[in-house]
């Protein structure tokens, strides 16, 4: 059903991924992907980290980012179940091997070639480079837990 008054206020707020080691994941998503940590909620057995891109040009304060978390779209929630950081391997399944399920998250970038070159310089693991396969306008990188991140140009690719 398309737009209706009943759903006019609905937003796709966030997606949650479970992570093995929050320090490694936070470094990846903030320093490599460029997201900001906008809120951290600590509980007895787990901690939630909410990340998003800052499109304010650096003008939004931490309190403004936190206050606006439920009003915006495109938030990534990382969930750390305490104790998993000491395991040898991640206890989580990315959804891209059997049994298949969850597939990936995606980011758009101003220049996909430059973004991929930067990821390469930073030692990010690629699942699919721009030169692989028939879809030469998208790449897939892997986060520290093996989740796929699609990287694509923020405009329609040339055919």
Q: Kindly list the catalytic residues.
A: 150
Tell me how far apart the terminal alpha carbons of the chain are, to the nearest angstrom.
31
Q: What angle do CA 26, 28, 32 make, to 5 degrees?
A: 130
Distances, alpha carbon 129 to alpha carbons 5, 89, 134, 144, 152, in Å: 42, 25, 11, 17, 11
Q: Are 153 and 137 in contact (CB under 8 A)?
A: yes
């Amino acid at each position: 059903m398309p737009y209706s008054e009943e759903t006019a206020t609905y937003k796709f707020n966030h997606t949650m991924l479970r992570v093995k080691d929050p320090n490694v994941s936070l470094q990846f998503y903030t320093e490599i992907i460029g997201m900001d940590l906008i809120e951290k909620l600590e509980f007895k057995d787990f901690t939630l980290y909410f990340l998003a891109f800052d499109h304010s040009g650096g003008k939004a304060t931490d309190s403004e980012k936190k206050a606006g978390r439920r009003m915006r779209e495109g938030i990534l929630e990382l969930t750390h179940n305490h104790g998993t950081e000491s395991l040898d391997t991640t206890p989580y399944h990315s959804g891209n091997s059997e049994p298949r399920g969850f597939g990936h998250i995606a980011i758009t970038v101003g220049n996909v070639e430059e973004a991929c070159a930067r990821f390469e310089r930073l030692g990010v693991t690629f699942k699919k480079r721009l030169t692989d396969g028939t879809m030469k306008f998208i790449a897939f990188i892997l986060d520290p837990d093996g989740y796929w991140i699609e990287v694509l140009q923020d405009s329609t690719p040339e055919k």
